[in-house]
């Protein structure tokens, strides 16, 4: 277990290092850093000063050093548009994105696992085939287009739910979230469902495939031969086996949801990090882009780490296997 965690930590460190190199070279070498990091409206003297301040006249190795140093102290420069520190802007938007991604994840679990289990247990039933057809559709539907259609149907045509914004936010236990107010809930429903659709399909397919495979395993048959009730066989023997991969994948998918919220947030004007990123790309607000990328890289590394450890805790074969050998 120790070696396992150390291995993962080392790998994470390498990932962060490599990604910082890529972002650095992307911004400072491939593009023109003067264009990218300095407000285009500055005059010549300002530019000269900024170049010196940013160390752009120094050798490349030294530049990277300053980049890392700045990044470590949380300094990615100020946004051209808002005039505020870029990192602060990104972090401010983070709770809204997390809230959206979290809600979508819950939806994926709540819809995906039961439907997948059902379809796996009765593969030939018409209802199961419908579920699977639906999951292929959910897999194929382009997220952004579904978002538009959701707005058109539920906001424009039916007028049931609001189309844009985050709605009212309440603070409970120091966490402010729109999940705590009715208005907020009505606002989050459409975007969260939009974001969750792909994941619901994914979870259905994963759960079904796991069920189909497990159901023919000898241990299930042996459990039947022991005379266990069908409920115990399904909810203990089967589910415990298939949940290990599903939980692992879902953990990794949380990061994916955060990344994909870029699309959903743009459509539903959800004030999260993703919308900030797209706005910044379109307005060439480079410091914010850099800050976003670094934050998201760290986030992913963290998620991967947690999921790996979680997996090894869930699966006794990994948990105990390592310490024994």
Partner 1 sequence: MTTTANQDPEIAPTELAGQFQSPFRRFVSDFFESWVATVAFALFLVIVFGALFAPLISPQDPYDLAQVDVMESRLPPGSMSYQGYTFLLGTDGAGRDLFSAILYGLRISLSVGVVSGIIAMIIGSSVGLTAAYCGGRVEALIMRIVDLQLSFPAILIALMLLAVFGKGVDKIMIALVTVQWAYYARTVRSTAIVERQKEYVEAARCLGLSHKRVLFHHILPNCLAPLIVVVTVQTAHAIALEATLSFLGVGLPQTEPSLGLLISNGFEYMLSGRYWISFFPGIALLLTIVSINLVGDQLRDVLNPRLQR
Partner 2 sequence: MTAMIETHDLSKDFVKKLDFAGKIATHLGADLHEQVVRAVDRVHLGVEKGEVVGLVGESGCGKSTLGRMVAGILAPTLGHVLFNGEDYAELSGPQARRAQLAVQMIFQDPYASLNPRHRVETIVGEAPLVHGLASKSGLADYVDDILKRVGLDPECKRRYPHQFSGGQRQRLGIARALAVKPDFLVCDEAIAALDVSIQAQVLNLFMDLREEFDLTYLFISHDLSVVEHISDRVVIMYLGRVVEVAPTEVLFEQPNHPYAAALLAEIPRLDQRKRQFKPIEGEIPSPIHPPSGCHFHPRCPHAFARCQSEVPALQKIAPGRYAACHLNDEPTPKNE
Partner 3 sequence: MTDQVPTLEVVDLATHFFTKAGIVKAVDGVSFSVGAGEVVGLVGESGSGKTVTGFSIVGLVDPPGKVVSGSIRLKGEDLVHANAERLREIRGNQVAMIFQDPMMTLNPVLRIDTQMIEAVRAHRELNRAAAREIARNALGQVGIPSPNERLKAYPHQLSGGMRQRVAIAIAFVNKPDLIIADEPTTALDVTIQAQIIHEAQTLCRQTGTALIWITHDLAVVAGLADRICVMYAGRIVEAGPSDDVLDRPMHPYTAGLIGSVPTHNKRGERLRQIPGMTPSLLNLPPGCAFRSRCANAQSNCQQTPDETTPFDGRRLRCHHPMTAIERQP
Q: Which residues bind partner 2 (CB under 8 A)?
A: 2-4, 6-7, 10, 325
Q: Per CB under 8 A, does 221 bind partner 3? A: yes
Residue with smaller CB distance to partner 3, 4 or 144: 4
Residue with smaller CB distance to partner 2, 10 or 182: 10
Q: Per CB under 8 A, does 158 bind partner 3? A: no
Query: What are the helix (H) ranges across the chain?
Result: 2-25, 33-37, 44-54, 60-72, 86-121, 126-140, 143-150, 182-215, 218-225, 230-232, 239-268, 273-282, 286-314, 316-324
Where do we find the tokens 């959800």? 270
Min CB(101)–partner 3 separation in Å: 29
Residues near 14 by beta carbon (within 8 Å), at least 6 away in sequence? none
Question: What's the rounded Cα separation, in Å, for the pair 124 and 113?
Answer: 18
Q: Per CB under 8 A, does 323 bind partner 3? A: no
Residue 6 binding target from partner 3, partner 1, partner 2, none, CB below 5 to 8 Å by type: partner 2
Interface positions, 233-252, toward partner 3 (CB under 8 A): 236-237, 240-241, 244
Question: What DSSP designation does 272 have?
Answer: S
Q: What are the angstrom distances between the C-alpha of 285 and each of 28, 145, 245, 277? A: 15, 27, 40, 9
Q: Per CB under 8 A, does 223 bind partner 3? A: yes
Residue 325 binding target from partner 2, partner 1, partner 3, none, CB below 5 to 8 Å by type: partner 2
Question: What DSSP designation does 246 have?
Answer: H
Helix (H, G, I), strand (E, B), or coil: what is residue 77? coil
Residue 137 binding target from partner 2, partner 3, partner 1, none, CB below 5 to 8 Å by type: partner 1
Interface positions, 55-84, toward partner 3 (CB under 8 A): none
CA angle 249, 255, 260 (to 5 degrees): 110
Applying CB under 8 A, which residues contact partner 1? Answer: 14-15, 18, 22-23, 26-27, 30-31, 136-137, 139-145, 148-149, 151-152, 156-157, 163, 252, 255-256, 259-260, 262-263, 266-267, 277-278, 281-282, 289, 293, 296-297, 300, 304
């Amino acid at each position: 277990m120790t070696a396992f965690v150390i291995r993962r930590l080392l790998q994470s460190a390498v990932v962060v290092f490599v990604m910082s190199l890529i972002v650095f070279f992307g911004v400072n070498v491939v593009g023109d850093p003067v264009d990218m990091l300095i407000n285009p409206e500055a005059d010549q003297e300002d530019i000269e000063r900024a170049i010196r301040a940013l160390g752009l006249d120094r050798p490349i190795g030294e530049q990277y050093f300053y980049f890392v140093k700045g990044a470590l102290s949380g300094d990615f420069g100020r946004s051209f548009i808002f005039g505020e520190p870029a990192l602060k802007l990104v972090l401010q938007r983070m709770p809204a994105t997390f809230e959206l991604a979290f809600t979508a994840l819950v939806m994926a679990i709540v819809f995906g696992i039961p439907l997948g289990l059902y379809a796996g247990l009765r593969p030939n039933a018409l209802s199961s085939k419908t579920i699977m057809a639906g999951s292929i559709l959910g897999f194929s539907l382009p997220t952004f287009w579904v978002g538009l259609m959701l707005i058109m149907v539920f906001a424009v045509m039916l007028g049931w739910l609001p189309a844009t914004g985050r709605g009212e936010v309440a603070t409970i236990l120091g966490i402010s979230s729109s999940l705590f107010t009715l208005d907020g809930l009505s606002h989050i429903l459409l975007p969260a469902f939009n974001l969750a659709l792909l994941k619901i399909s994914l979870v259905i397919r994963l759960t079904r495939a796991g069920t189909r495979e497990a159901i023919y395993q000898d241990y299930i048959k042996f459990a039947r031969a022991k005379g266990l009730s069908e409920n115990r066989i399904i909810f203990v023997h089967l589910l415990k086996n298939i949940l290990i991969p599903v939980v692992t994948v879902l953990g990794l998918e949380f990061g994916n949801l955060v990344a994909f919220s870029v699309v959903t947030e743009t459509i539903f004007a959800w004030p999260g990090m993703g919308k900030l990123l797209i706005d910044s790309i379109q307005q060439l607000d480079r410091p914010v882009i850099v800050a976003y990328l670094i934050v998201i890289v760290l986030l992913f590394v963290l998620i991967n780490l947690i999921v790996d450890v979680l997996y090894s805790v869930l699966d006794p074969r990994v948990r105990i296997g390592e310490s024994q050998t």
